[in-house]
Amino acid sequence: MNFGKDEETTTPTEAQLSRCQVEMYLNPSINIVPLGYKLEGSGIDDAIWFKFETDASSLQEIFDRNVVDTSTFKNGFVLTDGINASKWWDVENKEVLGGQVELPNARFMNIGIEKNDDGYQVYIMWHET
């Protein structure tokens, strides 16, 4: 059975970016520079890996505060649901600021964030159950 398609790119389309913004509760007013996108859509449930940079001035500015509480994030978080074959997903086994977020409609995100000189580099592994 085929439920959808798998996609991977370092230059996501507007539709792919829009889906990430909606599903991951990203603040629509922040500037996003995409660095990688992977959708596993061929199974019963979808999973998306998304890496981007933003010049947001604070961590709290990145997400919809009504859904994603960044105050619960911890230093030393390790993203383990990675895609080792993808060069752009370079956070495997790296300790970052992050955590797991339960979303509405039986969805979850594992989020890792690194502060840089211009803002933040953000890694999100989103999935349905």
Identify the helix (H) or strand (E) that includes residue 17.
Answer: helix 14-23
pLDDT above 80: residue 25: yes
Q: Can you give the pLDDT at residue 129?
A: 83
Q: Can you give the pLDDT at residue 86?
A: 85
DSSP 26: B
Over range 110-120, report the average pLDDT. 96
| Percent share of the chain, pLDDT over 90 | 79
On whether the CB atoms of residues 23 and 105 are closer than 8 A, the answer is no
Domain boundaries, the chain: 6-128
Q: Tell me the per-residue pLDDT of 48-107, one tens digit each, with 9 for 90 and over.
A: 999 999 999 999 999 999 999 999 999 999 987 667 668 899 998 889 999 999 999 999
Q: Can you give the pLDDT at residue 4?
A: 77
Residues 6 or more apart from 51 whose CB is under 8 A from it? 34, 35, 36, 37, 88, 89, 91, 121, 122, 123, 124
Q: Can you give the pLDDT at residue 41?
A: 83
pLDDT above 80: residue 43: no
| CA–CA gap between residue 124 and residue 108 (Å, rounded) | 10
| CA–CA gap between residue 101 and residue 80 (Å, rounded) | 15
On whether the CB atoms of residues 82 and 98 are closer than 8 A, the answer is no
Q: Is the Cα torsion angle 84, 35, 121, 28 positive or negative in sign? A: negative
